[in-house]
Structures are given as structure tokens and as C-alpha cells.
Chains A and B, each alone.
Chain A
Amino acid sequence: MVNVRGIRFTACVSLCLALTLPASATAQGDLSVGRKMLMEDNPGELWVDQGKSLFYQKRGPKNVSLEQCDFGMGPGKLVGAAARLPRYFADTDRVEDLETRLLTCMTRLQGFDRDQLMKQAISAPASKGSDIEALALYITSRSNGMKVNVRLSHQKEYDMYKAGEYLFYRRSGQTDFGCVQCHGEPNQRIRLQDLIHMTSKAGAQEVSSTWPAYRGSHFVVRTMQWRLNDCVWQMRLPDLKYATDYSIALTTYLNRQGNDAVIQVPGFKR
């Protein structure tokens, strides 16, 4: 616990340093120095161990571990599994991303209540985080150093990919925004915040290989589902439910565009 606080304090100090850079600083140059400083001491590492113990612990009403969960490479086989997600699973007849697959296993194997899990999935800022956040990070970390490799072979995977592409460009709401309005050009910012150029290979690769990530301003690990949630909130869309096909479609599209990126999690975000 003391250790946790210590590392959070370090992150906080670094963050302050990043924020007190000279006022004349240009966004691209000096802010990235601040971000690099933060990355060298990534508190998200703490969540990896937490996720590992959650994975192997006997939990839930059925008192079993997640070792029988099949993430696509066979029960309990985690190495390289996240690199292939989202993908089609025959037992649910659905394309699932990592978080949806976790919901499936925690419900079916461990007997947890699905609605309850979804309600708790995205934790409050500065909390100790949710089980799903820690598990998602641990499982993805088992693909660290490996390349993202989302394949399309089942018809539902093709359908999901194309739906994701469609949704990336779909404009609606008070701001007339789709994803592409902010993420379609290089070197763009909303205020001082850099925007990833997701229609480029390098940008999509940044997306596909850095989540879950430690979010410095929230002091917790965040997942891709959270990222999409926050985007649609800024776009002025209504509340995005957890683990919907909308999110899975966008993740399928972006991860496949970002194939061949080397996974390194936890990522670090401002």
C-alpha cells in the first residue's frame, strides 16, 4: 500500500513538472518530453500483478479460477491470445473483444452476475480499479513483445470489421462528429491534447498496442472500452453501454488496421 502511494506520488510530481513547462513551449515538442518522463515509471505495472492473482484465484459463486477460460488459443492459454482479439468464439457465436470475453468467462465459469460486472467494469478515478481492468491488463501483458495479429476468417469477423469502419466515419449528434473528424489527419490537437492519426498505419498501431494503459490524470488503469466511452461523451452522444457490438466493431476495425504493432502494456496516457 505504501508502495502504491509512493509510485502515485512520483507520477503526480512528474505530472506537475509536465504542466509547469515554460509557457512558450510548443505542444508537440516539450509536452512529449513530459510524457516520456511519465512513461519511465509506469504505475500501471502494479495492476499487472493484481490481474494475475485475480486470474488464478478461485472466485465467484462457483469458486473457480479463470484457468479454464478460452481466449481463443485454448483454455488458460494466454500467451499471444490478446494479440488476436477481437475474434469469433463459437461458444457464444459472437465476435468478442478482450473485455467481452472476460465477461463471458466470469459469468459462465465463475457465476458472477453480468449486469453487476458491467456496472463495475469502469472504475472511478483514483480508485483501486476494477477487477476487469486488472484482468484485461494482465492478459494483454501476456502478449507483450508480440505483434498484433487480428485475422478475418469467420463471416462474423468480416461483418464486424466492416461495421467498425462504417462507425468510424459515421457522423451524428450536436457536434456532427464521427471518429474521423478528430482522428483523420496527422499532427492534430484538441487544445493541447495530441490526437492519434488513426487512418494512418502508425496511428492505428499506437491504438492496437498500448491498451490497457495507465491514465495519469485518473490514477487508474483504463481499457479500450473506457477510451471509447470518453470519446462518445465528448462527441455529445448518449451513454455508451459496456461491451456492446458498437465498441467491439470499432475495436476490431482499429486493431486490424493496427496489425503488426508490437504490444507493450500497460501503455501510458496523460
Chain B
Amino acid sequence: MKKTSILKWVAVAAAGAIAAGCASYPDEATTRQAAEKMVYDAFAFSPAHKGRLDQDRSQQICSKIGDAKLTQAEAAEIVKLARASIQYPASGKLYGDWKVGDQLAHDGAGDRIRNGKTENRKENGGLCQNCHALAPGEINVGNVGPSLTGYGKQRGNSEAVVKYTYEKIYNAWAYFPCSNMPRLGTTKHLTPEQITHLVAYLIDPQSPINK
């Protein structure tokens, strides 16, 4: 008897809420659908630039809202996708010219779009300086990523370190799923050859970063 009357009240309250058009937060699927539409409505893009808006599987997984954590299965999938994406230079040499790498590390430009046109440059910058401390004493460096000062001094220049460093720059998510670091090789912001120069800049004992 009591149960019936509670149910009755719940039914009446629910009907009232619907009648009053009681507004509330939409569910996740509704939000996703609406927000994804907003993205494609908001940007003026050519077919060539549509890929900048499309999320690949890894980006989808790495767009967790708030403090939501990756599941173990998701992390494993990210690592698997990252590993599969890594390509090595045709020469097989992962260690380039640290002087070229030094320039690249301090170049924060490339790949930006204005009025439908991509920046007109011979090659993209490495963007490192935006987020990482580099050579000792450099002031104009960011701190979103960890300091790279003394990178090679601390780690040496074994083959394993060279390979790890190359892969880390090519696709950081192979080692740190969903980290803030762009997957510079995988997104094609940098070429494999450019990455070999950054590897040398980080590791070479002659590089200013290890002085």
C-alpha cells in the first residue's frame, strides 16, 4: 500500500517535470553529437585541412573530460597504435646533425593556417622551445614539458637511448599514453630526418644542451 503511493508520487513528479520542461545536463552521447557538429560548422576548411579537425582513434581516447582516467585497455591500445605508426628514416640512421637539430628545436613555427593557406615555409619547426628548457641559461623557454637540459649527459648515447629518443619524439604516446606532447612524427608535423637531427641535438656531447 505504502509502496504504491510512493510510486504514484514519483510518477506525478516525473510527469510534472516533463510538463514544465525541466532542463538538465544532456547525456554524454547527446553532448558529443552536438559538439562534434559545432566543430565542423565553426571552421572554414579545405578538404586538405579537414584532417586537422577529424579525430583519430587515439585522439578520441585521449580527450577524456575532467579527471577521468584512461583504462588499462585504452592505454594498451594507445601504445599499440603509437608503435604501429612509427616510421624510421630510409637511411636507417636515427642520429643526425645536432647543429641542424639546435635550429629546429628553437623554431616554433610551421603548419599554421591563415585564410585557408598553410604557412609558407621550407620545413616546420620542432616546437621544442615552446614547452621545454633546453641549453643551460636559456630564458625564453616554456615549462609545459619537463626540462631537457643535460638530456644526453644524464642518459649517455647508447643505441637504446638513441632509439628511445627517436621514438619518443616521433610518437610520445608509445611511452606515455595521452601525454600533452604532440605526436610530432605521426601527425607529420616533422619528417623522420628532422627527428634524427633533434635526437642528435639532445644526445651529442658537443650539443649546447649537454654543456
Binding site for B on A (CB under 8 A): 23-25, 27, 152-155, 157-159, 161-163, 165-167, 169-178, 181-182, 185, 187-193, 195, 232-234, 236-241, 244-247, 249
The chain A residue with its CB closest to the CB of B51 is A173
Are the CB atoms of B53 and A166 closer together than 8 Å?
A: no
B23 contact from A157, A170, A174, A246, Cβ within 8 A: A157
B38: which of A25, A154, A244 is its contact (CB, 8 Å)?
A: A244
Closest to B178 in A: A171
Any A CB within 8 A of the CB of B4: no
Q: A178 — nearest CB in chain B belongs to which residue?
A: B63
Contact (Cβ within 8 A) A240 B140: no
Q: Quote the shortest CB–CB distance from A252 to chain B (angstroms).
A: 12
Measured CB to CB, the nearest residue on chain A to B183 is A176
Contacts of B43 in A (CB 8 A): 232, 237-241, 246
Let me know if B144 and A166 touch, CB within 8 A: no
Closest to A184 in B: B180
The reply to whether A174 and B189 form a contact with Cβ atoms under 8 Å apart is yes
Whether B143 sits at the interface, judged by CB under 8 Å, is: yes
* Interface residues in chain B, defined as those with a beta carbon under 8 Å from any beta carbon in chain A: 21, 23-26, 30-32, 34-35, 38-39, 41-46, 49, 52-55, 59, 62-66, 108, 111-116, 127, 129-131, 139-144, 180-183, 187-189
> Judging by beta carbons under 8 Å apart, are A153 and B41 in contact?
no
Chain B residue at smallest Cβ distance from A242: B42
A–B pairs, 25, beta carbons within 8 Å? A23-B139, A154-B23, A158-B24, A162-B25, A162-B35, A165-B31, A167-B38, A169-B64, A172-B52, A173-B187, A175-B187, A176-B182, A176-B183, A188-B143, A189-B144, A192-B139, A236-B52, A237-B43, A238-B53, A238-B116, A239-B114, A244-B42, A246-B39, A249-B35, A249-B38
| Chain A min CB distance to B178 (Å) | 8
Q: Does A170 contact B63, Cβ atoms closer than 8 Å? A: yes
Main secondary structure of the interface of B (DSSP, over half): loop
Of B21, B113, B180, B183, the residue contacting A238 (CB under 8 A) is B113
- The interface residues of chain B lying within 8 Å CB-to-CB of A181 are 144, 180
Let me know if B41 and A246 touch, CB within 8 A.
yes
Which are the 7 A-B pairs with shortest beta-carbon distances?
A: A246-B42, A244-B42, A238-B45, A163-B35, A155-B23, A173-B52, A166-B35
B113 contact from A158, A192, A233, Cβ within 8 A: A233
Q: Which residue on chain B has the smallest CB distance to residue A249?
A: B38
Q: Which residues of A contact B53 (CB under 8 A)?
A: 172-173, 237-238
Partner of A159, one of B34, B49, B116: B34
CB distance from B171 to the nearest CB of A (A): 10
Contacts A172-B59, A176-B59 given; indicate if A236 touches B23 (C-beta within 8 A): no
**Separation in Å of the A26 CB from the closest CB of chain B?**
8
Alpha-carbon gap, A167 to B37, bound state (A): 11
Which residues from A are CB-within-8-Å of B108?
Answer: 191
Q: Are A159 and B113 in contact (CB under 8 A)?
A: no
Contact B41 A190, beta carbon cutoff 8 Å: no
CA distance A26 to B154 in the complex (A): 25
A187 vs B143: C-alpha distance in the bound complex, in angstroms? Answer: 9
B90 → chain A, closest Cβ, in Å?
A: 23
Q: Which residues of B contact A178 (CB under 8 A)?
A: 63
User: How many whole Å from A168's CB to the nearest CB in chain B?
Assistant: 8
In whole angstroms, how far apart are the Cα atoms of A197 and B181 in the complex? 18
Q: Is there an interface contact between B55 and A195, defined as CB atoms closer than 8 Å?
A: no
Asked if B23 contacts A237 (CB within 8 A), the reply is no
Q: Check if B144 sits within 8 Å of A190, measured CB to CB.
A: yes
Query: Smallest CB–CB gap between B65 and chain A, Å?
Result: 5
List residues of chain B with CB within 8 A of the CB of A165: 31, 65-66
| Chain A residues, CB < 8 A from B114 | 233, 239
Minimum C-beta distance from B140 to chain A (A): 5
Shortest beta-carbon distance from A189 to chain B in Å:
5
The residues of B that contact A174 with a CB separation of less than 8 Å are 52, 111, 182, 187-189
* CB-based contact A189/B187 at 8 Å: no
* Known contacts A175-B127, A238-B113, A239-B116; 17 further A-B pairs (Cβ under 8 A): A25-B139, A27-B139, A152-B23, A158-B23, A158-B24, A158-B25, A163-B38, A167-B38, A172-B59, A176-B183, A178-B63, A234-B112, A238-B44, A238-B46, A241-B43, A245-B38, A246-B38
Q: Which of B43, B129, B180 has the most CB atoms of chain A within a 10 A radius of its CB?
A: B180
Q: Which residues of A contact B32 (CB under 8 A)?
A: 166
Chain A residues near B131: list those with CB within 8 A.
190
